Structure 1
């Protein structure tokens, strides 16, 4: 059984623990199962996981997490990462899995004097349901196997390519803002907010199912959901015109620059 330590137990770390536990709790081979040791940071979440996942327990310190783990997941805020690492002694034979946004491997290495293996990942909340595809850099067989239990992974060829995937994760709230704008239009036409939300949820949940249950290229899904001269095509062409596409690309470029540290 592989022991995974989590330093920082927020939403993403909790999702990983719950997803891995659900995926492997019935696996017969001990080497294919995981136990979890948790940082005392965020005591409420750590206590909840320890109470609901029988293979999870809370440690007295972050260093104890390191000492008891083979894989160490660092899941703290970017502004906390350096201070947290500077307080730890991580041996060379450990693997540090960094879920810290925007902190490149060379910056992490500055706080890791024993040079353990470092793998960066971008886990998303869907790993709780084992449906999240996680970005990874560099390639690492043990981490790829772990992420396979959570929905799979894609491995970036280099850190710049990894950062492009990081930039695209900034689009999630904009997706919900798109839906919010549609419901607001319905309200302006006289619908109650609750009814508008209910209808739009029902409209778009089926599209999520399509994404989850098919491997149809996304470009083909656009065509599959509109007919020539139809209403879907009309709105798509009038709203997602060249200027709007360019604005979205420019926004992604700005996020990418921020992720890579090439702008303030």
Structure 2
């Protein structure tokens, strides 16, 4: 009973701030609500027994990427630029695509096999480390190169400047978060709002990875290993993306997507 209450509170903490992050007009407030949503995702990881991912989520996402995002928001315009209309002409398409994905995922969830009884959660850090350095050593090293390339690229750009119902609950939170991320990525005018949507999509994938792993393969932290790679790639995407946004603002004094027409024929 207590676990269900905690899950409900964490689901609320994930979904409501995420919805505000992709709908509010003030981009600075959107970034703050993104912090709350990603903190809720960390709480879900803790509830699923993914202790290492819980700490990683707080340090890399809530404590790193979002702080960097806030700095970029402050450096890419004045407060009056943060409150312009944030929805572009594609918002209806974004809404339809998001709804389509929710419906598709709901249909898939209904066809999933019912997992057996869950064993009590146990520390997984040691097992996760073995998986990363034994079974996934090549992808692990490849991701380290991706992160290095992302840092070099950023410097270059800125040079000079439970039961089945429990599993279904986690998957539902992931599906809603995915839909909100898709809507934000397609419907927001501000490039920073687009990046916020992309970060929500990454976190939706991680919720599904970890929850499916916990319920269907509780003894093997493969889903947690996959989530580690997603977090690493998301960090690289955020560094390069935010560097691009700052470069665009420095050169064109705008971060609105419709103002960037140099590649149009």
TM-score normalised by length of structure 2: 0.21
Q: Specify which structure has the bigger relative contact order, considering alpha-carbon pairs within 8 angstroms and separated by 6 or more residues.
A: 2
TM-score normalised by length of structure 1: 0.21
* Bigger proportion of residues as helix: 2
Based on CA coordinates, which of the two structures has the bigger radius of gyration? Answer: 1
